[in-house]
Structure 1
Amino acid sequence: MSDNQLVFGKVRVADVLQPAAGLSKSRWQTAFNRISAKHFDYVVCDKDTLSICAVIELQDKSHHQPNRLKRDQFLKAACKSANLQLLEFWVKPRYIVEDIRSALVKPNRLP
């Protein structure tokens, strides 16, 4: 990250994304329910405006399970439709900060 960014952990997806405008009340509620219990591992924001620069998901072997694959596909589609950069990193004991910084510039990497 840079000095101009803040990182927040375990942020509820519904606090970052909202269902599409124009849905009926029941369809909006159904869409909201799909995201209200899900969380991003990290959200990277601009320090001054708190606008969201990217969201980060940590991947481990549990993400190969069918229910996790479905969840991950849903989050990828939701982020794509919102034009929100989703970065994925394999879980490691330690990270190289420069790898994360460069991923913010080069999306869709899985270091």
Structure 2
Amino acid sequence: MAIGGLLRTLPRRKLRRARTLPCQIKRILFSPEEHALFAVLKSAIGDEFEVFAKIRASDILSPHRGSGRREAGELYQSMAGRRFTFVLCHKPDLSVAGIVELAEHGAGRKAQDADEPVALLCHAAGLPLIRIPASPYYDMGEIARQIRDEIRREPVFIHGDGEGGRIEPRISNLEDLKF
């Protein structure tokens, strides 16, 4: 009833235009392999990280401050349309901790060739990249180990302005160090 009343109050012109847009909802967000990996990832990361899916590279990467137009243009061109399968973020501040990519073999292409731009972007940004081969089943313990091995546990601090600055590990326990 309420919807019918709302539709009667909308101008007919706007209603007709909305009906002609060629759009439909995609009911499935993930492929079966992505869905299986997402579920295992959520369990493997525990309370330490948040996982976000299908994030555009341009949402988390930008050119270094002071980069020339040519370099910035090349970066944006390499990021165009690129999405990371999963982005792991530290829970307290949602800062990006690493990238998890599903290594799929498409028809007529090699997984290594398809993942090369992602590897270059992650390397340039200093982001850990964890590649997991597509499979209907995933080993949660193995994925947890890969994440632990690739992503630093030590907190970091950034020298400089935070964009393009030098990142160094922070020593959290001085007792065991010998001077």
Indicate whether the TM-score tops 0.5. yes
Bin of the TM-score, shorter chain as denominator length: 0.7 to 0.9
Query: 30-39 or 17-26, which moves further after superposition?
Result: 17-26
List aligned pairs for 1:31-50, cutoff 5 A: 31-50=75-94
Instruction: State the partner residue of 1:15.
Output: 59
TM superposition shift of 1:43: 0.4
Counterpart pick for 1:88 among 125, 131, 153: 131
TM superposition shift of 1:26: 4.3
Structure with bigger strand share is 1
Larger radius of gyration: 2
The two structures have a TM-score, normalised by structure 1, of 0.80
TM superposition shift of 1:19: 2.5
Change (3 A) 1:85 1:92: same
TM superposition shift of 1:22: 2.5
Instruction: State the partner residue of 1:100.
Output: 143
Instruction: State the partner residue of 2:100.
Output: 56
Change (3 A) 1:63 1:45: farther
Structure 1 runs, 4 residues or longer, greater than 6 Å off: none
* 1:58-108: CA deviation from partner (whole Å, max 9, x where unpaired): 012229726x6444222212211211000000111122222221101223x
Gaps of 5+ in 1: none
Aligned-residue CA RMSD (Å): 2.2
Over the matched positions of the two proteins, sequence identity in percent amounts to 24
